[in-house]
Structure 1
Amino acid sequence: MKFFTDLFIRRPVLAVVVSTLILVLGLKAVGSLPVLEYPQTENATITITTTYPGASPDVIAGFITTPLENAVSQVNGIDDITSSSLTSQSVITINLVLNHNADSALTEISSKVNSVLNQLPTGTQQPVLVLTVGQTIDAMYIAFRSSVLQPNQITDYVTRVVQPQLQAVNGVQTAEILGPQNFAMRVWLDPTKLAAYGLTASDVNAALANNDFIAALGNTKGQMTQISLTASTGLHSVAEFENLIV
């Protein structure tokens, strides 16, 4: 440091030239600096949802959530991992490091998930991976209630009418329904009758699955028209379920 000080004292012209050069470079650098009110950042979250019908939360945690967590935790760029094990369902939420390449992380995580599929219990459905880029905080909550419609009817209306319109709005990333109450048929089995007919709960479940589904038959074409054909194979009333032959 003393060397430079003595040099500039002995050669004032050199000191002026160097100072001027530093000033010019500084002014040029100031003009190229990006000035943003909100710096551009990318906050990405990857959610892994896996369904294992009929399993308890303990089974989900031990046989599904834990193997998947252990596999994906090796991926680079992960900030933190949270998970919840519910009845029949495992949900793993992966928050990536700020501005990390989300597509690359999704590819790696998908590969890790596929590598442990053979370790999951038989009957486990294929894990579903969803990439969410942007703010993870909900921007708006909209409540729906009615003095005329039942809760399941409200859910049906919101699912068919409201949710698609909200998701079509420019700038909306996703619109989720919290606490939906969907239409469902609950079936209680009589163990005595099952034993009398030599049936099991699996037999009843198979009969329901084989007789309550939507079938697409294709379409028929005319000279000016094309009509899609569907078969009315679903069960729509309590009486139809009661008359089902097992």
Structure 2
Amino acid sequence: MISEFCIRRPVATLLMSFALVLGGLFAYKFLPVAALPSAEFPVVNVSASLPGASPETMATSVATPLIKQFATIAGIDSISTTNSLGSTSIAIQFVLNRDIDAAAADVQAAIARTQRQLPPEMTSPPSYRKVNPADAPILLMSLVSDTVPLTDLDAFAENVISPSLSTIEGVAQVSIFGQQKYAVRVQIDPTALAARGISIDQLQTAIASANSNTPLGVLQNDKQQLTITANTQLNNAAGFSNIIIATRNGRPVRLGEVTRVIDSVETTTTASWYDGTRAII
């Protein structure tokens, strides 16, 4: 019937064909296209913690038993794990046609089956949650050097790379992992302090006073006035060690005599590696 209509009315057929082509071109022009289209993959993230356990212990005693159980779940596309000090994170990605709610239920059942195989010191069971992969970082940069200290790499990432990336259009957030911000640590020797009759409060006051910018005076003439400031801020352990904190028997007592002053970082409980080498990410 359609073929008969096309044969009997060729002009109408040609016009309809032209209209379909024109409509297709018009629709193609307004078809939404994105360089990074949003695709929601069914992903379940499992987290487990064991305070004080090394990354190696978390991998062998926690992550491995869980992964063996997760591998029996149908519809898994990939499993990736991240082990750090006292914690394990396992990301389970399923195939696109897998129902995320059913997948989460299977993960919960697998966690329950693994419970007896986990270390008895783990007081809280592993937790799981459905996640959106679109919230994950789209770019990871690693700073590694055989000659530059991690503290300098951290400062470069914090003061140069992070601000530069933040100014790029479309960048929502820039995070730095494994931060190693430089800091001077003062480890007190209680015996040495007691022998010299120095309290911790005195120690703290002396350090704060020696490491500050204080005005020394003012230079003034008929046209201008200038404030003179002494920059006495200390930048390394050697400078802190020479701080005079008290005087005993006519002799100055320096910080290095009653404490151990070392060049260190603000926190020693976080770190990151890239290809087996310490890095700033």
**What is the TM-score of this pair, normalised by structure 1?**
0.43
Counting strand residues as a fraction of each chain, which structure ranks higher?
2
Based on CA coordinates, which of the two structures has the bigger radius of gyration? 2
**What is the TM-score of this pair, normalised by structure 2?**
0.39
| Higher normalized contact order (CA 8 Å, seq sep 6+, divided by chain length) | 2
